[in-house]
Amino acid sequence: MKVLITGGSGQVGFELQRQFCCFGTVLAPTRQQLDLASGEAVAAYLSQHRPTLILNAAAYTAVDNAESEPQQANRLNSELPAQLAGYAAKHDAMLVHYSSDYVYGGKGQTPWQEDDAPAPLNVYGVTKLAGDNAVLASGCKALILRTSWVYSARGANFMRTMLRLGQARDSLSIVNDQVGAPTPARLIALLTQMAVARQLTGLFHVVPRGETTWHGFAQAIFQHARACDVALAVQPEKVVGIETQHYPTPAKRPLNSRLSVGKLEDALSLTLPSWQQQLALTLDEALMNAH
């Protein structure tokens, strides 16, 4: 099997390289080796290497910048997956494409189901939904995994930012009315491997069990960090919750990012772990890397 991982230097892409290293030849081109913004470059790369499995972890993820750079966001989030799906359909390859909770409207308090009507609130969500629809319309052998609040032991993400700020500041204000499930990239990669091994196709949600707010996530990060003897400047009572309306951003955020995971659990015959358990594992790895 020849596996192509796009976005291999990102959080999910890095973990996918670790999970799929035994599946055959793994190609994870850097930006210098493959310019994903160029349709011609992607077509030439696919023609040269002929992958049989494509894991599309590439995306334009700068949610606020997407409001002023819609063309760039559309190329990576919509046109690229459409191009990869077209290749997969023509060459009988399998495509795994990663999507987002941002395709939903963000209202209510119940977890979104895979067949709920999407209603994205911003350019990022619109372009991600267009990518999903293009993959589904292609007729290729495809697996779409929608996830939320991705973080890892490496790279730029909420967990690592909180660790840095918690050591530098004595007080922090964190949004407390957006609800979702923090999802480590390692778990996404592991579940991808399991799904591919079972030749699973269709649309599924991939998040841990449970829910929290960004404020609750931050508190849990600090609590575990203190248990690991990390010297924090911020005190628990100084981590203040604020509403989204008091933290304005160019792109509107969904308040409800809860994703139902029952469909994936049934398909893989497993029970997903809690977000708290996954945080402990990921934070331990980050702290180990720091030493």
Active site residue 124: yes
Separation CA 143–CA 71 (nearest Å): 25
Strands 212-213 and 179-180 turn out to be antiparallel
- Which of the residues 45, 60, 102, 124 is marked catalytic? 124
**Alpha carbon of 130 to those of 2, 137, 198, 266: distances in Å?**
27, 10, 27, 27
At 112, is the secondary structure helix, strand, or coil?
strand
Helix (H) or strand (E) holding 202: strand 202-205
Tokens, residue 24: 């055959």
Cα–Cα dist 250/265, whole Å? 36
Burial 80-95 (b: 16+ CB within 10 A, else e): bbbbbbbbbbeeebbb
* Closest of 285, 251, 272 to residue 100, by C-alpha: 251
CB-based contacts of 56: which residues, under 8 Å, 6+ apart? 6, 7, 80, 81, 84, 95, 96, 97, 98
User: Token pair of 214, please?
Assistant: 């960004």
Bridge-partner residues for 2, per DSSP? 25
Q: Are 145 and 204 in contact (CB under 8 A)?
A: yes
So which residues are the catalytic ones?
124
